[in-house]
Amino acid sequence: MSFIFGGQRPQPSKDEKFAMLDMEFETSTDIFTRMMGSCMKKCVLQNNKNFVEGELNKGESVCLDRCVAKFLASQQLMQKKMEEASKNGGGMMGM
């Protein structure tokens, strides 16, 4: 997320380094959880009100594969837009 980390400080302390790694971990976790929520909803839950079957069928599997690809592509696209907005002085999402 280069639009956020502008200038890096020269020699971060241990706590700072750990905080950066924590942030990376929480970011990946968050994006993964959201992607899973959206893709399960779009590919599996809409047609499974009663869960008669535990296995993923062919249609669900293919849908999940594409959904992951599209979710990450959406994330890349929005990141680009965010960087553009950031350059135009908009700041980070109004806060």
Partner 1 sequence: MNAPNLTQAEQQEYQQRMERKSIQMAILQFSRLTQQCFEPCVEDFTSKTLGSREEACLTKCFEKFHNGQTRIAQRFQENMAVITNNGQGGF
What lies within 8 Å, CB to CB, of 2 at 6+ separation is 83
Binding mask 59-88 for partner 1 (x = CB under 8 A): -xxxxxxxxxxxxxxxxxxxx-xx--x---
47 lies in the binding site for partner 1 (CB under 8 A): no
Contacting residue, 7, 55, 58, 89, with partner 1 by CB under 8 A: 55
Rounded CA separation 59/52 (Å): 16
Report 16-45 residues binding partner 1 (CB under 8 A): 16-45
Rounded CA separation 39/1 (Å): 23
54 lies in the binding site for partner 1 (CB under 8 A): yes
Q: How far is the CB of 60 from partner 1 (least distance, A)?
A: 8
Count of residues of this chain found to bind partner 1 when the rule CB under 8 A is applied: 74
3-state secondary structure 54-70: CCCCHHHHHHHHHHHHH
